Amino acid sequence: MWSSANRPNLDSMKKLLLLICLSACRMGYAQVTVDTTSGNVIVKEKTGKITKSLSIYTMFAEHCGKCSDIVYDPNSGDYGAEPDTLYLNFANELIHIRTMLDTALIYRRKYDFYRFACNLAPYRDLGSKLADIFSNSAEWNDYLKKAGNLLVADTLFDGNELVELRYDPVLAAQVLDKSDFVQTLNDFFKPYGYKVTANGFPADHQQTLSRNELRSLGKPESLIVPIPNGGFALMKLTGEKRAPKKK
């Protein structure tokens, strides 16, 4: 029996045991490490040459007070340039995201989450869903028919000309918001007490699925499928919506 004078702190013991387990155990073939030295929590899962990471960054900001972003990277920069094909499935990544998020929450249970950020580009299932949403939207197809050529030329400061495809981000957001695109994320974050909303589309440097990406999905290469911003707003189920500021 521990005396009242030398009884150990249970929370400290849990954290110590977690650190020992994480340094010694493997999840399948994955090694998990946790870094809290910066004041934030960064969890990494390494399998061979692939390192996935989930980071929780806490900040003080006018728009949210003290709040935290969850940032997920499926390969943590190990690959360098990404291939022009969609090679991951987001549904499969959710297993890794849940494991790393639960690990991070052991260090600090109370967060006011503000945003979940990830790059949507590598995911086959998300790309396929976006293609179906926009190709089946009468509103979007009518807009494309009336707009004609969406290529716009801008003159840069050095005099060179940059030609980019530019679509209506407001209309694209309306089409996406009417769909069930964020339902998978909603189902994922609901047990944590949050609802997810999309954060619209960029006004500049807009991305669309490339011809190669559409071909890899078995979709017509002529489709124009806009890619939304990679940050999803997190709203407490008992609170009010806070949409993150668009960059």
Tokens 């995201």 correspond to: 97
pLDDT mean over 25-32: 60
Average pLDDT estimate for 89-103: 93
For tokens 């926009």, name the residue: 134
Mention every residue, 6+ apart, whose C-beta is less than 8 A from residue 87.
122, 124
Per-residue confidence band for 76, with pLDDT thresholds at 50, 70 and 90 = low
Tokens of 35: 């870094």
Q: Which candidate, 203, 197, 198, 225, places its Cα nearest to that of 212?
A: 225
Tokens found for residue 74? 């499926």
Which is higher by pLDDT, 81 or 92? 92
DSSP alpha helices (H): ranges in the chain? 10-24, 90-107, 124-135, 138-147, 169-177, 183-189, 211-216
Token pair recorded at residue 237: 């189920």
Phi and psi angles of residue 221, each rounded to the nearest 5 degrees, phi first:
-70, -15
Average of per-residue pLDDT across 187-206: 92
Separation CA 135–CA 127 (nearest Å): 12
Q: In Å, how far from its chain's centre is CA 180? A: 16
Work out the mean pLDDT of the chain and round it to a whole number.
81
Which residue type, as a one-letter code, is found at position 141? N
| Whole-structure pTM value | 0.77
Q: Which of 42-56, 135-149, 152-166 has the highest mean pLDDT?
A: 135-149
Query: What pLDDT does residue 8 have?
Result: 45
**Could you give the CA distance from residue 146 to residue 110 in angstroms, rounded to a whole number?**
50
pLDDT of 241 strictly over 70: no
Lowest-confidence region among 75-89, 192-206, 216-230:
75-89
CA dist 206 and 227 (Å) reads 8
Average pLDDT over residues 84-90: 73
- Between 197 and 23, name the one with better pLDDT: 197
The 10 Å Cβ neighbour count of residue 19 is 14
Band (pLDDT 50/70/90 cuts) for residue 37 is confident
